[in-house]
Amino acid sequence: MASSSPSRFSEPNEVDDLMNSSPMGPSPRATQGPRGTIRRRDQLEDDETDPNPFARRMPPLNLRAATLNQSDLADLQNFARSKKLKREHVEDIVKFMNLATLKEVRRIATSQPPWAPSKDFVTNVRALCYGALLSTSARAYKGTTLTSNVSASPNKIVFERRFDLPSNIRTIPADEAKVTKVITDQMSDARSGIKKDIAASVNHKPPKANAKPTKPNLDDADQHMGLKQLAENIGRHLGSRFELTAGFCARVALLRSVYMEFHEKNFWDKLEDKIEEYHFKARRKLEEWHPARLQEDKHWDLQKHLR
């Protein structure tokens, strides 16, 4: 028995069309891309099938802002590609690794013992001190005047050449004081060594502490060491830089001459006075000679001598 209730669809074709049609799904939802572009969900789903999404999704890292070395960054990039990490995730990892590295560096720095001059540094300073004292142009041998008047100032050269000094040595007063002490001690040792060499060349033994000083014996001058031999003996302190010249022999002769007269504690002071005396006489001679020479030059005809 057929139902008498009316049908919802008056035409059979309308039912077939409805059954054969697919229901309307939700519209793709737009999302914010990793680089600020608007991307739909279906585009993001396509990324999951991309064989190398990391290469397209993440540009190269800013290596200038990182403290990691190139090898660590290369390992990190390979790890990020294998795990398909996004750029922001990799940047977070880099920041964390930088913080961990910085923390470890600070721990190592704070656990280091206080800086101390090495044996090589002391050896280098000793060589510089002998070079300053045995320079043929040296005019000062004691005190702060040495570092200001001597052309090759050890204090200046030490901080310029660095040797094995820490880079921040000037910012730490305690470490800088250690360097100054090394220079002062080695300068005293160098003065003592030169004086002992001169004393040995004239067969004179310096008196011990609190003993009455004795004078060098001038009567046995034929037993004294020759000037060339003494210059070579003192020049050994300069190492490979030593060169036997007339100027160096003249300076050694001056050292021994002053020592023969002033061999006590004021030897270096008397040596400075003698050098200043010679410089004063030389300047005076030059001042007397220079105006006379200029007067002669006025009557000197170059063309006449060329003919």
DSSP 118-164: -HHHHHHHHHHHHHHHT-TT----SSTHHHHHSSS-HHHHHHHH-TT
Closest CA to 69 of 96, 108, 49, 98: 98
Q: What is the pLDDT of residue 73?
A: 76
Judged on CB neighbours under 10 Å (0-12, 13-18, 19+), 187 is buried
Q: What is the pLDDT of residue 96?
A: 84
Q: What is the pLDDT of residue 103?
A: 86
Low-confidence ranges of the chain (pLDDT < 50): 1-10, 14-15, 18-28, 30, 42, 44-59, 61-66, 147-152, 300, 302-307
**H/E run at residue 231:** helix 227-235
Torsion on CA atoms 279, 259, 218, 200, rounded to nearest 10: -130
Q: What is the pLDDT of residue 241?
A: 84
Q: What is the pLDDT of residue 255?
A: 93
Q: What is the pLDDT of residue 237?
A: 92
Q: What is the pLDDT of residue 291?
A: 62
Q: What is the pLDDT of residue 46?
A: 46
Q: What is the pLDDT of residue 100?
A: 84
In angstroms, rounded to a whole number, what is the distance separating the alpha carbons of residues 128 and 10? 116
Q: What is the pLDDT of residue 53?
A: 45
Q: What is the pLDDT of residue 229?
A: 92
Q: What is the pLDDT of residue 215?
A: 65
